[in-house]
Chains A and B, each alone.
Chain A
Amino acid sequence: GQNIDQPTEMTATEGAIVQINCTYQTSGFNGLFWYQQHAGEAPTFLSYNVLDGLEEKGRFSSFLSRSKGYSYLLLKELQMKDSASYLCAVMDSNYQLIWGAGTKLIIKP
């Protein structure tokens, strides 16, 4: 079967750095995505990786290793507004997105 694994919940301090990991096993691979979802709201797109390596976008970076079936989302200079769930999703060989259950990130002052 296909599955995406990510931690259920993480806690970090305002101003710090946090890394959210995602491992996947899917039928084929056509890219990995990170979305942010605030409580009660819809997900919003953060990043897309299809090649190995690090993609940086402001305070957020996303890393991919296809050989290891592994990705992480790195958030720097954490702000209270970063408190949200972070969803990892992989596009399989049929171009369907397989979603993880999300990591709830709690930011403390």
Chain B
Amino acid sequence: EADIYQTPRYLVIGTGKKITLECSQTMGHDKMYWYQQDPGMELHLIHYSYGVNSTEKGDLSSESTVSRIRTEHFPLTLESARPSHTSQYLCASSEDRDTGELFFGEGSRLTVL
């Protein structure tokens, strides 16, 4: 069973607010990822990290930032939320980049009014 946790599970906020979505894993995985997924649509990679102090942008520019100060923690921050940021955010980790088996958290569903 995967041990990767996301908080909050659900969040409703107003436009312009700053928010941080938390993601923690206890598996010691070096690789961590943030995806955005709208209903019935494919997952889009927002950010990823291959280890401490390593972060990269994915193919979706979501005006967000991430940090990786500790192996187990990979928070995602939106500096100024907009209605277009309303979506499901999924955090994932993997032990081995090459085999690609990802373990996902339960997701954070964000609604921006």
Contact = CB atoms under 8 A, between A and B. Distances in A.
B104 interface: yes
A42 B90 contact: yes
A8 B90 CA distance: 21
B42 A48 contact: no
Contacts of A97: 43, 45, 100, 102
Specify which of B44, B59, B101 lies most central, judged by the most chain A CB atoms within 10 Å of its CB: B101
Given A42-B90, A42-B104, A42-B106, A95 B97 contact: yes
Interface in A38-68: 41-45, 48
B12 interface: no
B interface, how many residues as a size bin?
Answer: 20 to 34
A101 B41 contact: yes
Contacts of A84: none
Contacts of A4: 42
Nearest to A30: B98
B99 interface: yes
A7 interface: no
A4 to B, nearest CB: 7
B45 A100 contact: no
Given A101-B40, A102-B42, A42 B107 contact: yes
Contacts of A42: 90, 104-107
Contacts of B97: 95
21 contacts: A8-B40, A30-B98, A33-B101, A41-B106, A42-B90, A42-B104, A43-B90, A43-B104, A44-B104, A48-B99, A87-B43, A89-B100, A95-B97, A96-B45, A96-B58, A97-B43, A99-B42, A99-B43, A101-B40, A102-B40, A104-B40
